[in-house]
Amino acid sequence: MTRVVEAIFEDGVLKPLEPLPLTNQQHVTLTVHDSVEGPEPPNARRAEMRWIGENAPLYRGEYVALQGSELLSHGTDGHAVIDEARRKGVEHPLIYHVPEYLGEPSIEWI
């Protein structure tokens, strides 16, 4: 299991601020960053968000499947877009529905 957890250093001991599913005396490996902000979480999807900001107007009313800054698939059928992205070997692409009129909400269930 890999998990990013915030902790406090007190009296020579790192104390997690949330419970961890570990057994007593279990060995773990720690990477310590001296700031709560620390590194960017692996699921930040910054490249995808940048792509959407730059390219969304070209795909109004369509679903897009993205991995990083790569457009994997697009179209009006969300399920087909996901299927095509997975055929390209990407199990968890970012799927985004570009609104017909930009500025409107675009979150929906597929």
Residue 51 lies in a domain: yes
Complete DSSP assignment for 50-85 = HHHHHHGGGGTT-EEEEETTEEEEEES-HHHHHHHH
Q: Is residue 3 part of a domain?
A: no
Give the residue, 67 or 38, on which the prediction is more confident: 67
Give per-residue pLDDT as tens, 71-85.
999 999 999 999 999
- Range of the structural domain that residue 62 is part of: 46-97
pLDDT band at 30 (very low <50, low <70, confident <90, very high): confident
Cα atoms in the Cβ-side hemisphere of radius 13 Å centred on 61: 2
**Does a structural domain hold residue 35?**
no
**Residue 70 falls within a domain, yes or no?**
yes
Count of the separate structural domains present in the chain: 1
Angle at 46 between CA 33 and CA 43, to 5 degrees: 60
Which tens digits make up the pLDDT trace of 43-73? 678 888 889 989 999 999 999 999 999 999 9
Starting at the edge strand found earlier in the chain, the sheet holding 94-97 runs 70-75, 63-67, 94-97
Give the C-alpha separation, 6 to 4, whole Å.
7
Domain annotation covers residue 2? no
pLDDT digits (tens, 9 = 90+) for 4-20: 777 777 777 888 877 77
Q: Which residue has the tokens 């107007």?
A: 57
